[in-house]
Chain A
Amino acid sequence: MLCEDVLERLSAFLDDELDPLRSREIQQHLGGCPGCTRALDQMKALAGRLREEAPYYRAPDSLRARVSRAAWSDASRGRVPGRRLGLAARGWLGAAAAVLVVIGGTWIVTSLRQGRAGFGSIEREVVSSHIRSLMASHLTDVASTDQHTVKPWFNGKLDFSPPVSDLSTSGYPLIGGRLDYLHGRPVAALVYQRRKHWINMFVWPDEGAADSETPPRTQQGYHVIHETHGGMDYWIVSDLNSEELSAFARLLVPGGENGQKR
Chain B
Amino acid sequence: MTHETRPETAGPQRSLSPRELDRFHESVLPYLDAAHNLARYLLRDAHDAEDAVQDAFLRAIRHFDGFRGVDGRAWLLRIVRNTCFTRLSGRRSGGETVEFDEERHTGEEAAAGPEVDLARKAATESVQEGLDRLAVEFREALVLRELEGLSYKEIAQITGVPIGTVMSRLARGRKQLQLALAPSGPKENG
Taken together as a complex, chains A and B put the C-alpha atoms of A57 and B61 apart, in Å, by 23
Which of B6, B109, B152 has a CB less than 8 Å from the CB of A17?
Answer: B152
Contact of B21 among A56, A63, A90, A138 (CB under 8 A): A90
A68 at the interface (CB under 8 A from B): yes
- Let me know if A55 and B128 touch, CB within 8 A: yes
Within 8 A of A (CB), among B22-47: 22, 24-25, 29-37, 40-41, 46
CB of A74 within 8 A of chain B? yes
How distant is the Cα of A59 from the Cα of B29 in the complex, in angstroms? 11
A93 within 8 A of B: yes
Contact of A70 among B20, B57, B151 (CB under 8 A): B57
Chain B count of residues within 8 A CB distance of the other chain: 59
* B181 close to chain A: CB less than 8 A: yes
B163 CB, nearest partner CB in chain A, Å? 8
| Nearest CB of B to A103, in Å | 9
Assess the B53–A63 pair: CB atoms within 8 A. Answer: yes
Nearest chain A CB to B11 CB, angstrom units: 12
Chain A min CB distance to B169 (Å): 10
B33 engages A138 (CB within 8 Å): yes
Q: A12-B167, A57-B37, A72-B5 are in contact. Are A46 and B177 (CB under 8 A)?
A: yes
Instruction: Report the nearest B residue to A96, measured CB to CB.
Output: B25
Contact of B36 with A49 in the complex, beta carbons under 8 Å: no
Tell me whether A64 and B127 are in contact (CB under 8 A).
no
Q: 0/1 per residue, A157-176, Cβ < 8 Å to B?
A: 00000000000000000000
In which size bucket is the chain A interface? 35 or more
Asked whether A42 is an interface residue with its Cβ less than 8 Å from the other chain, the reply is yes
When the two chains form their complex, are residues A54 and B131 in contact, meaning their CB atoms are under 8 A apart?
yes
Query: Nearest Cβ in chain B — how far from A176, in angstroms?
Result: 13
Most buried by B among A15, A72, A135: A15
Q: Kindly provide the distance from the CB of B139 to the nearest chain A CB, expressed in whole angstroms.
A: 10
Docked Cα-Cα span, A136 to B25, in Å, equals: 11
- Taking CB atoms and an 8 Å cut-off, the chain A residues in 100-149 that contact chain B are 102, 134-138
When distances are taken between beta carbons in the complex, the residues of chain A under 8 Å from B22 are 90, 93-94
Cα distance, A78 to B131, chains bound together (Å): 43
A86 to B22, CA, bound (A): 13
On whether the beta carbons of A12 and B170 are closer than 8 Å, the reply is yes
Smallest CB gap from B35: residue in A: A59
Interfacial residues of chain A within 59-104, with CB under 8 A of chain B in the complex = 59-60, 63-64, 66-78, 86-87, 90-91, 93-95, 97-99, 102
* A-B residue pairs, 8 tightest by C-beta: A35-B190, A78-B15, A90-B18, A73-B5, A59-B36, A11-B171, A57-B40, A94-B21
Show 14 A/B contacts (Cβ-Cβ < 8 Å), sorted by A: A43-B178, A53-B126, A56-B33, A59-B33, A63-B50, A67-B29, A67-B32, A71-B25, A75-B21, A76-B3, A90-B18, A90-B22, A137-B33, A137-B34
Q: Which residues of A contact B (CB under 8 A)?
A: 3, 7-12, 15, 17, 33-36, 38-39, 42-43, 46-47, 49-51, 53-60, 63-64, 66-78, 86-87, 90-91, 93-95, 97-99, 102, 134-138
- A74-B21, A77-B15, A87-B18 are known; give 15 further A-B pairs, CB within 8 A: A8-B109, A8-B171, A10-B171, A11-B170, A12-B152, A17-B167, A53-B127, A56-B33, A57-B36, A59-B36, A59-B53, A63-B53, A73-B6, A74-B15, A86-B18
